[in-house]
Amino acid sequence: MNMQAPVRAPGQGGVSSSSSSVAPASLLSAQAVRRSASALMAAAQAGQSAHFTWHPERMAVAAAYVAGVIRDQYPDLQVPYHSRWRHFEAGGLDRWAMVSHQHGLDGHAARLERARARIDLVVISVLLDAGAGAAWSYADAETGQTLSRSEGLGVASLRWWAKGALSSNPQHPTQADAQALALVDAAAVGQALQVRTDNPLVGLEGRADLLRRLSLALEQHPTVYGRPDAPGLLRPGHLVDTLFRHAPTGKVKATAVLTLLLNTLGDIWSGRHQLNGVNLGDCWRHPNAPDGWVPFHKLSQWLTYSMLEPLEDAGLTITDLDELTGLPEYRNGGLLLDLGVLQARDRSFHTQRWTVDAEPIVEWRALTVAILDHLAEAVRGELGLSLEQFPLARVLEGGTWAAGRKIALAKRPGGVPPVLIESDGTVF
C-alpha cells in the first residue's frame, strides 16, 4: 500500500508548545518508538542508566516463564494476536460473535459493514481501556459474570456500544459516529461502566474527553472517516473503506495503519506536548533520548494491533507486523521488574507514586519496548518457532502481558503492578 497520511491539524492546548528543528512527523511512527528505546537500552547495557540496571543473565528465566504461560494457555501454540478482541471473550464466551449474530452482522454478505462496525467498536473500547484501578468491576448482566480491569472495561464498552448509545441513528445501533460521540459526558461513561461510590473508576472525565475529542478528529478528517455514498456520516469504521481505496493490491503494512491513526487521531490526546503546533500524543522528554524525545504511542499501537482481525476479515492483508513494537505498559514492564531483568537503582522507585512524564517512568517504558524485542526472540527459541510463525503480536498475547499479570498476582495482593502511576485514563 502506498498512501500518504494526511497532515494533521495543529493540536489544542498541550502541556508545552515549542518550536524545534525536529520534525514532528519523525516522532509519529513505530520506527521512532524503537529508535529512541534502543538508544536508552544501549545506555542501560553500558551501565549508564541513571535509574535502572540491566540483568541479561535473567533473560533465560524470563523467556522460560513466558513460554510456560503460553503453553498453559495455548497448548497447541495457536496464539491469536494481542488485541482488544481477547477481552470480549473473557470467561470463555465470545460476546462479539453473539452481538454480531443478534444484529445481523455475521455472514459473508455483511463482511464490509461488519468490519466497519468492529472498527467503530474497537476504537471506542481502546480509548476506554486505560487502567481501571483495583477497586472497579463490571457486572455483565447478559452472562452473569463479574469482570475487572481490562476484561471488565472491554465487555462494558461492548455492551454500551451494542445498545446504540454511540450511534446517532436508532436504525443503525452498531456504529459510533461523530454526532453521537460529541454528546458523551462523564455521567454517560460512568453509567455505562457502572461507576458508583462503592465501584470507583480512575480517570472517568479523561475517558469521556477522549470520546468527545474523537468526534472532533473525525470531523477534521472527512476524507478518511467519511464515505462518498454516506455524506455527513463520520465513523472510525470508514477507515476500512479508505484503506481499500488506497490499497489496490489489498496489502497494507501494519505501520501504515499506525501512521494514519497517529496523523488523524492525534489531536484527541489533550494536555500533552506539542512541537511546531502538532500534538505529539504519547511522547515524552528524556535527556538521553535522540533529539530529547521518547515516543511510545501505546494506545495507538494497541489500537493498531486490535484492528488487525477486522481488517483481515474484511479482505485486506496486513503485512510487516513486527515493525510495530511491544507495548510499554505496566504488565509488560512489570514483568521485567518482577523477574529481575530490570532492577531499579533506588528501591523507592516501587513506593513512590509517579506521573507519566517522570524521567524514571519514561525510561522504564523505553527499556520495556527494547527488551520485549529481545525477549520475544528468546521466547521463540524456547518454543521452537520462527518469527513468521510467532510474531511479536502473538508473543505479547500468549505471552508477556499474561505473564506480567500472573507474576503480579503471585507477588502482590490483587495483582497490582510493581510501579505506582498517577493515571488520567489516557496513557496506561
CA atoms within 13 A on the CB side of 11: 27
User: How many Cα neighbours within 13 Å face the side chain of 97?
Assistant: 6
Q: Is residue 427 part of a domain?
A: no
Structural domains in the chain (count): 1
| Alpha-carbon torsion (49, 50, 52, 53), positive or negative | positive
Residues of the chain with pLDDT under 70: 1-20, 270-271, 424-426, 428
Per the domain annotation, does 16 fall within a domain? no
State the residue range of the domain holding 75.
Answer: 29-421
Q: From residue 85, how far is each of 30, 266, 307, 317 by CA, in Å?
A: 22, 23, 9, 18
Decide: 309 and 110 in contact? Cβ < 8 Å: no
SS3 116: helix
Instruction: Using DSSP, state whether 284 is helix, strand or coil.
Output: strand
User: Which grid cell is 412?
Assistant: 502482590
Q: Which of 264, 248, 67 is nearest to 178 (CA)?
A: 264
Question: How many CB atoms are located within 10 Å of the residue 232 CB?
Answer: 11
Cell digits of residue 14 = 498541550
Amino acid at 154: G
Question: Are 379 and 351 within 8 A, CB to CB?
Answer: no
**Residue 355 CB: number of other CB atoms within 10 A?**
11
116 within domain boundaries: yes
On whether residue 341 sits in a domain, the answer given is yes
Q: What confidence score (pLDDT) does residue 9 get?
A: 35
Is residue 6, in this structure, part of any structural domain at all?
A: no
Cβ neighbours of 20 (radius 10 Å): 11
User: DSSP assignment of 69-110, as one string?
Assistant: HHHHH-TT-----SSGGGGGGGGG--HHHHHHHHTT--SGGG
Q: Is 387 in contact with 379 (CB distance < 8 Å)?
A: no
- Asked, for residue 247, whether it belongs to a domain, the answer is yes
Look at residue 15 in the predicted model and tell me its pLDDT. Answer: 53
The CA distance from 316 to 309, in Å, is 10
pLDDT in tens, 77-112: 999 999 999 999 999 999 999 999 999 999 888 999
Residues 185/427/312/97 CA torsion (nearest 10 deg): -50
Neighbours of 418 (CB within 10 A): 19
- Single-letter amino acid, residue 122: V
Q: What is the pLDDT of residue 12?
A: 36
H/E element, 283:
strand 283-285
297: Cα separation from own chain's centroid: 8
- Catalogue the E-assigned strands of 108-167: 137-140, 145-148
At CB < 8 A and 24+ separation, what contacts does 360-363 make? 360/51, 360/52, 361/419, 361/421, 362/284, 362/285, 362/286, 362/294, 363/40, 363/49, 363/50, 363/51, 363/52, 363/286
275: β partners: 18, 278
Residue 47 resides in a domain? yes
Neighbours of 348 (CB within 10 A): 9
